Amino acid sequence: MPKQKNNFEKIDDTKNLKKILKNKKQKNYNKDEEIEKPKNARHTLKRLVLSIKDEYRRLLIVIISIIFYTALTIIAPLYSAKIIDILWSSINTAIQNGTTFSITWEQGGIDICILLEIYLVTTILYILQKFMMTSFSERLSLKFRKQISNKLNVLPLSYFDKHKPGEILSKATNDLDKMSETIQTGLLTLFTSIGTVIGSIIMMMYFNIMFSIIFILFMIVSMALTRVFTNKTLKSAANRQQKVENLTAQVEEAYSGRIIIKSFNQEEKSIKEMSEITNEVAKATRNADFIIYAINPAIRFINRLGQVVIAILAGKALIEGRLTVGGFQAFFIYMNQAAEPLTEASYMINSLQSALASVERIYEMLDEEEITPEPEQPEVVENAKGNVEFSHIRFGYSPDKMLMEDISFKVKQGQKVAIVGNTGAGKTTLINLLMRFYDINGGEILLDGKDTKKLTRANLRSNFGMVLQDTWLFEGTVAENIAYGKPDATRKEIIEAAKMARVDFFIRTMPKGYDTVLSDDTEGISVGQRQLLTIARVMLCNPSVLILDEATSSVDTRTEIEIGKAMQALMSNRTSFVIAHRLSTIVDADLILVMKNGTIIEQGNHRELLDKNGAYAELYNSQFA
Amino acid sequence: MKIIIKFIKPYKLLCFFTILFIIFDILGTLYIPTITANMINSGVGNKDINYIIQEGILMLVATIISSLGALVGSYLCSRLASNIGRDMRDALYKKSLKFSHFDFKQFGTGSMITRTLNDVNVIQQTAVSFIQMVIPVPIMCVSGIVMAFSIDKFMGFLLLGITIIIIISAVFITKKASIIFERLQRFLDKMNVVLRENITGVRVIRAFNKENHEKNRLKDSFQKYAESAIKANRLYAGLDSLAFFTINICIVAILYIGGNRVGAGAMEIGDITAVTEYAILILFYLIMAQMVLILMPRASICLKRIKEVLDTEPEIHDGNKKMAASNKDNKDVICFKNMTFRFADADEDTLYNLKFTCKRGQTTAIIGSTGSGKSTIAKLIMRFHDTTKGSILLNGQDLKSLSQKEIREHISYIPQTAWLFSGTIADNLRYGNEDATEGEMYHVLEVAQAGFVEELEDGLQTRVAQGGTNFSGGQKQRLAIARALIKKADMYIFDDSFSALDFKTDSNLRKALNKEIKDSAILIIAQRINTILNADQIIVLNDGKVVGIGKHDELMKNCTVYQEIAKSQMKGDIDNAKTEK
């Protein structure tokens, strides 16, 4: 009567393995695992199902495969029990006849062959669904990622102001990976589990109702235990997360402030503080890890307890002839087939919920309001002359709070316009509006007499060259970074631009010169040097209108003047807008706009404004006291 | 590997017990199928209910032992791993504080944070998995095969054969996996980089009309990641399927061969169950170990990165001399003697042949363009770097002969970027002087022009956020100055500390400083001529060389670099600009 436990233990163990793996992966995401529940699960689910329309056929195959797979999993034990019965009776007969028995085609061989075939088909189905789901889930993530990348280009800048980069980043990476992971393992397990549990319990009932009830009672205990453990896991994981966050803060602070720690001889104190926190993390991690790893043995213990009880009762029934040998084995197999998926269910529901919450977050982002559409029949400005007019501009970053009420000024072709004022006065805002990074709430901005709203953004921006306050470099060589706005630039042009920006020498001192690979967080390049690189970038583009937003704020005054000279040569007869906090760089401007709280409080050239003896004069004198 | 042994060493006993309990778990687990076999063999043969009950109880005992072993084992294992993690973090941090500025820069702040947090975490998690899933494998394999041999040698050989086949294919898969996972990680990093660039650079991208270019870059990175992820997942699925397949084949093989052996009278019918069970357990443990081993290359990279930090020899060594008592009032607080400095990885001297002295009661100023080496001077005085040639004397004694602690007791330093620690303002001030009274604190705050603290609702007890982000740049700078002033020192170094202040505050602060600091030397590193106009001596640096030294008026006459700097900052500039245009 052997062979009962094998089959189910197999299931038992492979499932365990999957669960442990899953636990391991879950750990990485534990942070949001606990509290996370989708706000509107049904709606999100519906939308998700609709969005995978083109995969329906594939999913259908998977579902059919699952149905057959489950059916075979339920038939196999019944069949293998039959084989054992055949073998056992043949062996018994042989022993009674005093001969030995060996398996022949007729005696057992054919049955073993059929069992082998059942197993082979099961395996093939298993492999089929596994592999189909693998590529399905990744293709789905890819689809979402592509949608996100499209969305990124049409989101208004206000979205980026409101959301931290890490937050957006985690949607495109963590959230989608979580979804993919759940679809791959979770969904498949869930489907097969449901089938197996129902099938097995029906078969068990068929063999013996009383034992089935005992089994179900033990299952309820072990499910309750799982529940308790799940709650504990969540709590301890949350606790660990909290402690890890403390540690992260402490470590970041300590490394960033290490010069101070050392300068003030505070090393010992700092080490002590650090080790207190690392110790707390160790404690929290220990508890969290223990609980996660204790679940399996604990549940296995309950299950085995149930098995022992039923084994004794079933043994008794066997002896009393109330149960056949085959029935005994088959019952055990089904018992185990049903036990595992049941305890897994609560896990599965958790991870499905949190995956759905992830998907919901992605939908939220995809549903964000987009920038206003481009005009249907846009006007075109090529190689603008550079006449710019702001006329009665009203604007606020949020519609209920206006920053600018009524701004008007005119810039003629070739003029240098300087914008000065304190932080928060609205200097950069003016540039943002000119570039149409934000849409104005009233009035109009004209470029060469044409309303900028009637141009496409691309056409409008192609007339401007802009150097921003925050220098942005991407992962690529120095040359690629400089040629960002003009990818077909020759090396000679690139070097020329770098020379004008006074950064050629610095580039040459880098390990690979112009072919040195940079990234946004490259260390060893100062802010000033970054600014020079971005200036070179714009110089190469040779735009009609130049915009410099604190472009040289971190460059020393001597270099700044040298760049200023190069820039003047480049910009002669072109319009330029300059925001600067060092007034020395803008005293020669044709028009100076002095801003305060979103309005222009003075405008004129340097002499006129000094003679006025107003805000500008005050600012100027404060800088050159 | 050495390094992990080093960290395990203190926990030998813990290690021993962890493994002991894991062995309990394995032996208990292996004993259960043996009992089942016995139950079947005797129970069916003799039809004895008592025997079945007896075996049932035995099974219960084995279950309890195995579960207990597993529970205690996982507790000890978590304990061991978390202790190792903690010790690694402590060791890393301790080491980092021994690093010079240059040593630390070799790793970078971001990388050091990653090493301390993520890398240790990966190692800790891998350690847990390793202990729980890899260590039991050899024990399981050996005892399983031995038990199979004790039943029947055919069964023994069958199990041995299957084990060897699985191990060989595991080696093959691990090799392939490490390539796939390495690539996956690379594409994941790339995807993160490109995405982050797209988010942080959104203005530049739009300004240059590069939306489509960036979209393609993004799609490209997504595509590559997806392809790579599919490959990795297929590998997992393949492994999973392989396990499934082997187990099924194994069951059929045992059934066939075992059936014949039972028929031949070599073993009993129940033993088929036992052997099948052993086979499944061995396979199960092997596959689990495989899943862990796939992740090992990642852990070993992390380990290597930690080892790098721990193995780095700090470039600066403490001297063993004490500051002589007679030197404490030396008039020349700091003296540069033909000092030349070059970074270890550079081809050029950063500072060349510096000669100057900072005297007690005097203000020395250093001015020069970005990259002229100004800040390096301050770091050399603090001994964050060591001189390459020549020497620096503190109160007449060579810095290299003193301990870093001693040097820093005599000098108070305000670095370029003001950094405040989270806590209260008072906490931050106590950094400079642990026993400072509230009165002293308010006094230095006043000197540092940080009177705004008094107006704050909570005064000195106001919370400071991490990095001091709840204060403006100027406020932070003034608090940092106050923190340095509360420390009594022979020299105060202001490394570009005034640049975040407006002109008026700058000038008030300097006036107050002059009144406050009478017996100490002051070193001001500055970009603005205004800040240093009244210094007792001004040192003009250009490309690491001193090109002028003297008072403002003298330098205006005979130092061209100084003249140029001054010109670029003076009012008269407008006329120059106009004429040149």
CB contact under 8 Å between B191 and A468, yes or no, is no
Of A498-507, B220-229, B403-412, the poorest mean pLDDT is in: A498-507
Report the SS3 class of residue A517.
strand
**Subunit contact A519:B193, Cβ cutoff 8 A:** yes
Are residues B232 and B356 part of one domain?
Answer: no
Are the CB atoms for B353 and B498 separated by under 8 Å? no
The pLDDT of residue B577 is 39
What digits encode the pLDDT tens for the residues B265-316? 888 877 887 888 888 888 888 878 887 887 787 788 889 989 999 999 998 8
pTM exceeds 0.90, yes or no: no
Give the Cα separation of B236 and A137 in Å (integer): 14
CA–CA distance, A418 with A582 (Å, rounded to integer):
11
Average confidence (pLDDT) over B47-52: 77
Cα distances from B487 to residues B433, B477, B482, B511, B518, in angstroms, run 5, 16, 9, 19, 14
Count of Cβ atoms closer than 10 Å to residue B36 Cβ: 23
B341, B298: one domain: no
Residue A272: Cβ-neighbour burial (10 angstroms; 0-12, 13-18, 19+):
exposed
For a pLDDT cut of 70, what percent of chain B falls above it?
96
Q: What is the pLDDT of residue A17?
A: 39
pLDDT for A4 equals 33
Q: What is the pLDDT of residue A11?
A: 34
Q: Are the Cβ atoms of B248 and A123 closer than 8 angstroms?
A: yes
**CB-based burial label for B437 (10 Å; 0-12, 13-18, 19+):** exposed
The reported pLDDT for the residue numbered A414 is 87
Q: Pinpoint the alpha helices (H) of A488-550.
A: 491-500, 504-508, 527-541
Alpha-helical runs (H) found in A102-208: 109-154, 157-162, 165-170, 176-181, 188-207
pLDDT higher than 90, residue B84? yes
How far apart, in Å, are the Cα atoms of A523 and each of A476, A518, A591, B192? 15, 9, 38, 18
Chain A, chain B: beta-carbon pairs less than 8 Å apart: 435
| Whether B295 and B357 share a structural domain | no
Query: Nearest-CA distance from B195 to chain A in Å?
Result: 7
- DSSP symbol at B501: S
Q: Residue A342's pLDDT is what?
A: 67
Q: Same domain for B291 and B344?
A: no
CB contact under 8 A, A123 and B241: yes
Distance between CA B218 and CA A148 in Å, rounded?
10
Give the residue carrying structure tokens 């050029």. Answer: B348
Backbone angles phi, psi at A572, to 5 degrees: -60, 135
Interface probe for A, chosen from B50, B86, B288 (most Cβ of A below 10 Å), is B86
Contact A79/A108 with Cβ under 8 angstroms? no
Please indicate, yes or no, if residue B267 is contained in any of the structural domains: yes
In chain B the first and final C-alpha atoms are separated, in Å, by 68
Domain that residue B397 falls in: 326-580
Phi then psi for B165, rounded to 5 degrees? -60, -45
Q: How high is the pLDDT of residue B75?
A: 92
Subunit contact A275:B404, Cβ cutoff 8 A: no
User: What mean pLDDT is predicted for residues B134-160?
Assistant: 91
Asked whether residue B341 is domain-assigned, the answer is yes
Q: Band of the pLDDT at B432, cuts 50, 70, 90? A: confident
Residue B573 has pLDDT above 50, yes or no: no
Taking residues B85-111, what's their average pLDDT?
Answer: 89
Q: A388-623 in CATH: which number? A: 3.40.50.300
| Residue-level pLDDT at A9 | 33
A249 CB neighbours in chain B (<8 A) are: 422, 466
Average pLDDT over residues B61-72: 91
Digit-coded pLDDT (tens) for B556-566: 999 988 888 88
Q: What is the CATH number of the domain that holds B378?
A: 3.40.50.300
Q: CA-nearest residue of chain B to A557?
A: B568
CA distances, A218 to each of A332, B62, B102, B506 (Å)? 14, 19, 64, 78
Q: Which residues of chain A neighbour B316 with C-beta distances below 8 Å?
A: none
Mutate one of B421, B477, B562 to test the A interface: name it (highest A CB count within 10 A). Answer: B421
Cβ pair A547, A576 in contact under 8 A: yes
CA distance A453 to A375: 8
Other beta carbons less than 10 A from residue A96's beta carbon: 8
Q: How far is CA A524 from CA A458, A527, B115, B349, B352, in A?
A: 34, 10, 20, 17, 21
The gap from C-alpha B162 to its chain's centroid, in whole angstroms, comes to 43
Reference A19, options A338, A285, A354, A297; nearest CA is: A297
Residues A168-171: contacts with CB within 8 Å, 24+ apart?
A168/A365, A168/B195, A168/B199, A169/B192, A169/B195, A169/B196, A169/B199, A171/A361, A171/A362, A171/A365
In this structure, are B345 and B390 located in the same domain?
A: yes
- Confidence class for position B574, pLDDT limits 50, 70, 90: very low
Phi, psi of B338 (to 5 degrees): 45, 50
Query: What is the Cα–Cα distance from A474 to A494, expressed in whole angstroms?
Result: 17
Question: Any idea of the CA torsion for B258, B264, B269, B273, to the nearest 10 degrees?
Answer: -20
A149/B47 CB distance under 8 A? no
Q: Name the minimum distance, in Å, from the CA of B253 to any CA of chain A.
A: 9
Q: For position B144, what pLDDT does the model report? A: 92
DSSP assignment of A247-298 equals HHHHHHHHHHTHHHHHHTT-HHHHHHHHHHHHHHHHHHHHHHHHHHHHHHHH
Same domain, B367 and B428: yes
Choosing from B254, B276, B311, the residue where a domain stops is B311
Tell me which chain B residues have a C-beta less than 8 angstroms from the C-beta of A464.
Answer: 207
Which residues on neighbouring strands pair with residue B221, listed in sequence order? none
Give, in degrees to the nearest 5, the angle at Cα A467 between A461 and A471. Answer: 120
A305–chain B Cβ distance below 8 A for any pair:
yes
Q: Which of residues 556-575 of A touch B (CB under 8 A)?
A: 556-561, 564-565, 568
Our measurement of the distance from residue B268's CA atom to the centroid of its chain's CA atoms, rounded to an integer in Å, reads 60
Q: Do residues B276 and B373 both lie within one domain?
A: no
Measure Cα distances from A115 to A10, A79, A193, A196, B15 in Å: 16, 7, 22, 19, 45
Q: In angstroms, rounded to a whole number, what is the distance separating the alpha carbons of residues B218 and A178?
A: 20
Between chains, do B249 and A475 touch, taking CB under 8 Å as contact?
no
Nearest to B144 by CA among B38, B269, B271, B281: B281
Query: How far are the Cα atoms of A152, A507, B130 from residue A284, in angstroms, in the given order?
Result: 39, 48, 20
| CB-CB contact of B271 with B152 (8 Å) | yes
Radius of gyration of chain B (CA): 36
Q: Which band of pLDDT confidence, cut at 50, 70 and 90, is reported for residue B244?
A: confident
Q: What is the domain-level CATH number for residue B13? A: 1.20.1560.10
Q: Which of B128, B422, B565 sits opposite A558 (nearest CB)?
A: B565
Pair (B267, B358) in one structural domain: no
Return the residue matching tokens 């690139």. A494
Domain boundaries, given as residue ranges, for chain A: 36-208, 388-623
Contacts of B511 in chain A (CB under 8 A): none
Integer Cα distance of B560 and A167 in angstroms: 52
Q: How far is CA B394 from CA A496, B322, B373, B483, in A?
A: 47, 12, 20, 22
- Taking residues B359-370, report their average pLDDT: 87
The residue assigned the tokens 């390793």 is: B130
Residue B391 gets which letter from DSSP? Answer: E
Judge whether B469 lies within some domain: yes
Instruction: Please tell me the distance in Å from A45's CA to the nearest CA on chain B.
Output: 23
Q: Looking at the domain assignment, is residue B124 inside a domain?
A: yes
- Does the beta carbon of A249 lie under 8 angstroms from any beta carbon of chain B? yes
DSSP code for A374: P
Are residues B568 and A584, on separate chains, in Cβ contact within 8 Å? yes
Whether residues B37 and A2 touch (CB distance < 8 A) is answered with yes
Is the CB of residue A258 less than 8 Å from the CB of residue B379? no
Reply yes or no on whether the pLDDT at B166 is more than 80: yes
Mean pLDDT of the region B343-348: 73
- Whether B271 and B382 map to the same domain: the answer is no
> Which CATH number applies to A36-208?
1.20.1560.10
pLDDT band with cut points at 50, 70 and 90 for residue B453: confident
Kindly state whether residues B257 and B341 are assigned to the same domain.
no
The Cα A171–Cα A165 span in angstroms is 10
In chain B, which residues have their Cβ closer than 8 Å to the Cβ of A536? none
Count of Cβ atoms closer than 10 Å to residue A490 Cβ: 10
3-state secondary structure of A342: helix
Using one digit for the tens of pLDDT, what is the confidence trace for B198-214? Answer: 888 888 888 888 888 99
For B479-497, give the secondary structure using H, E and C. Answer: HHHHHHHCCCCCEEEEECC
d(CA A199, CA A197): 6
> What is the tally of structural domains in chain B?
2
C-alpha dist (Å) from residue A207 to A211, B112, B554? 9, 63, 109
- B46 — pLDDT class (breaks 50, 70, 90): low
Choose one of B311, B338, B370: the last residue of a domain: B311
Whether the pLDDT of residue B21 is over 90: the answer is: yes
Choose the weakest-confidence range: A12-21, B249-258, B364-373: A12-21
Torsion of CA A560, A562, A564, A568, to 10 degrees: -170
| B contacts of A126 (beta carbons < 8 Å) | 241, 244
Q: What share of chain B is helix, strand, coil (3-state, %, to 5)?
A: 70, 10, 20
| Mean pLDDT in consecutive groups of 10 residues from the start of chain A, 625 residues | 33 38 38 58 86 86 90 84 78 79 78 88 89 87 91 89 82 85 80 84 85 88 82 85 88 87 90 94 91 82 85 79 72 76 68 84 90 88 88 87 87 90 82 90 91 91 84 87 90 90 81 78 71 88 86 76 75 84 80 89 89 86 65
